[in-house]
Amino acid sequence: MLLDASFAGAWPTGLDPATNTTGGANLTQMSAIYGGLFRLVADDDGSNAKVVPHQAESYEFADGGRTLRIKIKPGIKFTDGTPFDAAAVAFNFERDMKSTCTCRPQWPLAEGGISTEGNDTVVLKFTRPNGAAVNSMVVSNVNWIASPTALKTMGEDKFKITPVGAGPFKVVSNKLSSELVLERNPDYFVPGRPYLDKLIVKSVGDDQPAYQALLAGQGDAYEGMTTTPLIEQAQANPRLVVTQQPATSPYLIQLNTKIPPFNNKLAREAIYYATNVEAIKKGLFKDWYPVSQTFTAPGGLFHHPTVPGYRTYDLEKAKQIVQQLGGLTVDLGTLSAYVADQVNTALKTQWEQAGIKVTIHSEQLNGLIQNFNSGKWQAMLQTAGAWDPAAGVGVGFRFHSGVPFSGVADPKLDSLLDQAAAEIDPAKRDQLYQQAGKLISDEAYGPFILAFAPANVVVKGVHGPGLTTKIPPVVVNTGIIWDEVWKSNP
Amino acid sequence: MLGSPSLRLVGKRLLMAVPIVLGVSILTFWVLNLIPGNAAQQLLGPEASPDQIQQLEEEMGLNRPQVVRYLDWLGGAVHGDLGTSLVSRQPVTDELGPRLAVSGEVVGLAFLISLGLAIPVSLLAARWPNRMLDRISMVVSTTGLSVANYVFALLLVLLFAVQLAWFPAIGYTPLSESVTGNLRSLALPAIAIAFPLFCFYTRFLRSDLVDQMQGEDYIMTARAKGIGPWQVLLRHAFRNSAFGLITIVGLNLSTLIGATVIIEQIFALPGIGQMLLQAINTRDFIVVQACVIVFAIITVLANLLADLLYAVLDPRIRYGSN
Amino acid sequence: MAVTEAPASSVLAVDETAPAPARKWLRSLAIGLPAGLLVLIFGACFVLPLVAPIPKPTGGDVLSSSLPPFSPGHLLGTDPNGNDIFSRILYGGRSSLIVAISVNLLGLALGGSLGALSAHFGGAVDTIIMRVLDVFIAFPSLVLTLAVAQSLGPSQRNTIFALAFFSIPAFARISRAATLRLREQPFMVAAKLSGTSTWRILVRHIAPNIGPQLMTFAMLGMGIIMIIEGALSFLGLGIPPPAPSWGNMIAQGQLSLSATPLLVVWPSLALFLTVIGFNQLGEALRARWSGR
């Protein structure tokens, strides 16, 4: 059985976990080739999502969260026949830590913090408690274990083209950012898996060509559709199945509280009151995505739909504040993308109704980076949050004072976020994140819009967890569990 | 019939091409350095810290002065080594070959289609000027020249791929995999490129033929001798018009490069246009540089070839340069 | 970039022969029709929004997004942001036309004088100017435009600058060829012999004589530039939305082409009509100047 899958991304730097720099966007390729020490699973409707050991057998925290022991499943072999053991995992961890990818783990490693115990256990030692370590594993490159022997024989430059792992599939051929052909790994450690004999991953420029390709029978599955009119059209098409993934990262308007106008809390409040989230939800997205008032979303951990005292749309109040301020001029930017551009255009209209003067601009990556580095930006439409707020591009990326992409410097918030990331007990974490959300809302640090998640579209007859069932996306897209994807004969 | 004057002409023109290509390479390097952002930023994405970016910049050698990087590149380029991609770390020349083949195939098909249609249509139109076929061909070609090629491509996609599903909407099937699949995957892009060309050639050829049939003395003479109209048209008028057509085809080749960038983007073809655009987006300037040089060489050679053919076919020019 | 971006020489090589014996009224119709069409288009884009109650092209209500054509108050419906499409076509035409006119004026002025100077002085000056232009012509104009557009950032003014690089070499070539032909004319020889200053010769003798030819080329160039402006938007540069231009409207619409084909159809149609107007007017003018 062959499956053609496509997605609107690229893997320009190859598929070696330690040298790949587009990690978060390449979940499909990575999990197909390497399998993963851990994976995120959920019930079919996306609820009860949790990180479970996969190539790992089990894990345990010790030392109040300062030590993490990961036990490896016995008997796994890389597709080159070499053993998948603690030494191999430690070798990968060491290598991955030197990566320049943003998917490199943010471990507060102690000196010599990566070691092995016996043949099957890797030990990580941290300088401070790190309760989110396992949850953040699924969004970082350390989850993908490459064969050290194959790497040594091939050399880095060749390995990144035809990498060797212990996942459900083996690489047949790989044209960077274009086409990756995979075949079934007959020695995969889960008996009877994968179901597919062959998996081809293609990069497609945009949602529109991908949609056409699915209809023309050129592909079976497409991950990460974001263009609303096309999602609607795909839904109406009886030959396609659309699965809207549970949202985990809400869009928010980051406000730079370090410079005018948003160093003034009143100006920030005006933005809260002038933003009509319900209208955006209805008009732009036809009620597809849930509104969020904090950095969590229904698909993620620690979510609460409302924050007490959150300032919702109130045009009169907004006008009043703008008048009180003697006018307000705002420069609102975003990283160019279909959804973000649409939202910004709508925000401009709404804010102007409150008497705010708004210019919007949609940046290319370098422009965005320059803006942040210069510190002169005023407002940015961004996504914040992740399935686990402490993992990936989590809440810290937008609100922690120590990050270049944050507009907030509040020691109280920093401490809440730090404590929450370190804490092991979920109940305590929940409480801390609720406090953080309340603090952000009270101080009007940045209004949240709605929690957006891409949709996966398949041709009727294709089934699989994360493809036709819901699994919360860990970074951008959902981590599809490719070993359990199958195709019924039409 | 290639005499030594022609050879000398080739030599002279080739020599003139060297500074042009060199100039293009310098201009490219300079222009690329104007583009904000670099490959390191682009690869690491919006969440990278300044330290991470700096680390990668150093690994890529982006922190060296511009002149040093250019001379380094030029040193390799003279020996046919166009460098190593900043992003994939693979030799650029390895990737250029297959990509050029794809683009070449599309453009070749487009020429075949456009000339294969334009020549018979123009002949028929010129045989009976102002009759139905002539009028239709003039309206179609006039209209066609005013349609943006990307709009035309989108219309093709909408109609033949989305609505009728006769052709795949995107992608490329290699010739080695399936001949029909290959042709099917290239049909729409080739037509999208061919249609404006067809319009252009038809207008040119038809006007030129009609002009000759109505005005030129030797045509009158031939007709007076009682040679049939078809024969006059084919043997005399068309042979003469072919000169001009060849020049135009040669000149078109260079402008087609631009068309392939857009068309390859729309149809997701792994050609050199797509390679260029991807490289610009990832700021992989070594690859951009290579693509630009290849384009410049094609442009210069195409112009040279058109001039030469003209010189070989038209005796006046050859003697003139003597 | 578009195939229509044919080298100047070959554009001019296509000579329109009027199919029927050229009657006077037919010829004035050949100029009048496209000219009338263009007047209509200019009027619609520049005057209509001032006199008719047409909504603004941006700032529409998201709650009335994606309305079908002929919805009350929205002749062509609204886009996914709730903006009136008809209004966007009119205002978009404004910016597309302004870009095309500015670029052609820049090309005409800079390219035209460069070519004329080059031909007039001849020798080393000519060689240097022409070699530099050769480099620009051999350089894929798309890369140059992308580079300029990206380094300056997308805006209407920068789009104009970027596109001017397309037109300057082409204008220069035409102007040079036309000036070269002039050089042998008796009045030019006389002017030179009588010691008329270079400046005066350029202004009084060369400019008026090559003017019509350059103007004709500028007409054809209008269509080309409008199409390229769209191509630039297509690649994510050009005039940044939400401000409309026909190019960025087509580019935005094609992101959901199958679901919202009309978003592409309307601006394409407007672009097509305008380009055909300019092309036909250019052709007709050329026929008149070449005395056929």
Got the DSSP string for C229-249?
A: HHHHHHTT-SSPTTS--HHHH
CA distance C147 to A363: 15
- Check residue A384 and give left, alpha or beta (phi > 0: left; psi -120 to 50: alpha): beta
pLDDT in tens, B133-146: 888 888 888 888 88
The pLDDT, as a whole number, for residue B315 is 54
> What is the CATH number assigned to the segment(s) C79-289?
1.10.3720.10
Tokens representing residue B291 in the block: 């693509």
3-state secondary structure of A51: strand
Contact state of C256 with A362 under an 8 Å Cβ cutoff = no
The answer to whether the CB of A454 falls within 8 A of the CB of A244 is no
The residue type at C269: L
A23: number of Cβ within 10 Å = 25
Q: What is the pLDDT at residue C8?
A: 36
Say whether A345 and C259 touch across the interface (CB within 8 A).
Answer: no
Whole-angstrom Cα distance, residue B134 to residue C147?
Answer: 44
Q: Which residue in the block uniquely carries the two structure tokens 């401009």? A: A348
Q: Where are the alpha helices (DSSP H) in chain B?
A: 4-34, 39-44, 50-60, 66-78, 92-127, 132-144, 149-156, 179-215, 217-224, 229-231, 239-267, 272-281, 285-313, 315-321
Q: What is the mean pLDDT of chain B?
A: 81
Nearest CA among B21, B56, B13, B17 for reference residue B38? B56
Q: Find out whether A292 and A250 touch, Cβ atoms under 8 Å.
A: yes
**Residue whose C-alpha is closest to residue A437's, from A290, A344, A330, A307:** A307
Q: Give first-to-last CA distance, chain A, whole Å.
A: 12
Segment C224-272, tens digit of pLDDT: 888 888 888 877 778 888 889 998 899 888 888 888 889 999 999 999 9
CB contact under 8 A, C17 and B207: yes
Every domain of chain C and the residues it spans: 79-289
Interface test with A, best of B41, B43, B172 (most A CBs within 10 A): B43
Contact C28, C34 (CB under 8 A): no
Length of chain A: 490
pLDDT for the residue numbered B55:
81
CA of A240: how far to CAs of A231, A479, B62, B101, in Å? 10, 20, 46, 35
Judge whether A364 is closer than 8 Å to chain B, CB to CB: yes
Rounded to whole angstroms, the Cα distance separating B293 from B257 reads 12
CB contact under 8 A, A368 and B46: yes
Chains that touch C (3 or more CB pairs under 8 A): A, B
Distance (Å, whole) CA B267 – CA B261: 10
Mutual orientation of helices B239-267 and B285-313 as an angle, nearest 10°? Answer: 170
Among C81, C150, C255, beta carbon nearest to A346: C81
| Residue A207 in contact with partner chain C when CB distance is under 8 A | yes
Question: At residue A172, what are phi and psi to the nearest 5 degrees?
Answer: -95, -50
The CA distance from B262 to A212, in Å, is 18
Question: Residue A239, by phi and psi: left (phi above 0), alpha (psi -120 to 50) or beta?
Answer: alpha
Tell me the β-bridge partners of C71. Answer: C74
Domain ranges of chain B: 1-93+299-322, 101-270
CA distance A193 to B4: 71
Least confidently predicted of B35-39, B164-168, C153-157 = B35-39
> How many angstroms away from the CA of C150 is the closest CA of chain B?
6
Rounded-to-integer distance, Cα B118 and Cα B112, Å: 10
* β-bridge mates for residue A62, sequence order: A67
- Assess whether pLDDT exceeds 60 at residue B223: yes
Could you tell me which residues come within 8 angstroms of residue A174 by beta carbon, excluding any fewer than 6 positions away? A14, A15, A161, A162, A180, A181
pLDDT at A267: 95
C189 touches chain A (CB under 8 A): no
Q: Which has more confidence, C99 or C287?
A: C99
Give the ranges where chain C is alpha helix by DSSP (H): 8-13, 24-42, 48-51, 85-106, 112-121, 123-138, 141-152, 156-183, 186-193, 198-200, 207-234, 246-253, 261-289
pLDDT surpassing 80 at residue C138: no
User: Whose CA is closest to A278, among A264, A289, A267, A266?
Assistant: A289
For the cut 80, the answer to whether the pLDDT of residue C145 exceeds it is no
- Contact across the interface for B46 and A405, Cβ inside 8 Å: yes
Q: Are A103 and A44 in contact (CB under 8 A)?
A: no
Cα(B254)–Cα(B302) distance, integer angstroms: 7
**Which chains form contacts with chain A, at 3 or more CB pairs under 8 Å?**
B, C
pLDDT band at C2 (very low <50, low <70, confident <90, very high): very low
Question: Whole-angstrom Cα distance, residue B178 to residue A166?
Answer: 33
Distance CA B95, CA B105 (A): 16
Separation of alpha carbons C278 and C292, rounded Å? 20
Domains annotated for chain A, with CATH where assigned, are 2-204+455-487 (3.40.190.10), 249-452 (3.10.105.10)
pLDDT by residue for chain A (490 residues), tens only, comes to: 567 877 767 888 899 999 888 777 888 899 999 999 999 999 999 889 999 999 999 999 998 889 999 999 999 999 999 999 999 999 999 999 988 887 888 888 999 899 999 999 999 999 999 888 898 898 889 999 999 999 999 999 899 999 999 999 999 999 888 889 999 999 999 999 999 999 999 888 788 888 888 887 888 999 889 888 899 999 999 999 999 999 888 999 999 999 999 999 999 999 999 999 999 999 888 888 889 999 998 888 999 989 999 999 999 999 999 999 999 999 999 988 888 988 999 999 999 999 999 999 888 777 787 788 888 899 999 988 788 888 877 788 889 998 888 899 999 999 999 999 888 899 999 999 999 999 999 999 999 999 888 899 999 999 999 999 999 988 767 889 999 999 886 5
Which residues of chain C have a CB within 8 Å of the CB of B113?
A: none
Residue among B138, B150, B151 whose CB faces C19 most closely = B138
| Stronger pLDDT, B297 or A435, i.e. the higher one | A435
Test A206 with C242 for CB contact under 8 angstroms: no
Q: Can you list the pairs that A92-97 forms with residues at least 24 positions away whose Cβ atoms lie under 8 Å?
A: A92/A17, A92/A18, A92/A142, A92/A144, A92/A145, A92/A146, A92/A148, A93/A122, A93/A124, A93/A142, A95/A18, A96/A17, A96/A18, A96/A140, A96/A141, A96/A142, A97/A142
Q: Are C286 and C216 in contact (CB under 8 A)?
A: yes
Q: Is A123 on the interface with B (CB under 8 A)?
A: no
C-alpha–C-alpha distance, residues A131 and A338, integer Å: 36
Distance between CA A337 and CA A150 in Å, rounded? 38
Q: Indicate the pLDDT class of residue B320, thresholds 50, 70 and 90.
A: very low
Task: Name the nearest CA neighbour of A354 among A320, A331, A382, A326.
Answer: A320
Q: Which of A320-324, A453-457, B5-9, B58-62 has the lowest mean pLDDT?
A: B5-9
Report residue B222's pLDDT band, with 50, 70 and 90 as the boundaries.
confident
> pLDDT exceeding 90 applies to what percent of chain C?
22
Q: Which residues contact A28 (CB under 8 A, 6 or more apart)?
A: A5, A7, A201, A223, A477, A480, A482
Phi then psi for residue A388, to 5 deg, are -105, 120
State how far residue C58 is from chain A, nearest Cα, in angstroms: 8
Inter-chain residue contact B200 with C7, CB threshold 8 Å: no
Fold designation for B101-270: MetI-like fold (1.10.3720)
Asked if residues A28 and A482 have their Cβ atoms less than 8 Å apart, the reply is yes
Kindly tell me if the per-residue pLDDT of B267 is higher than 50: yes
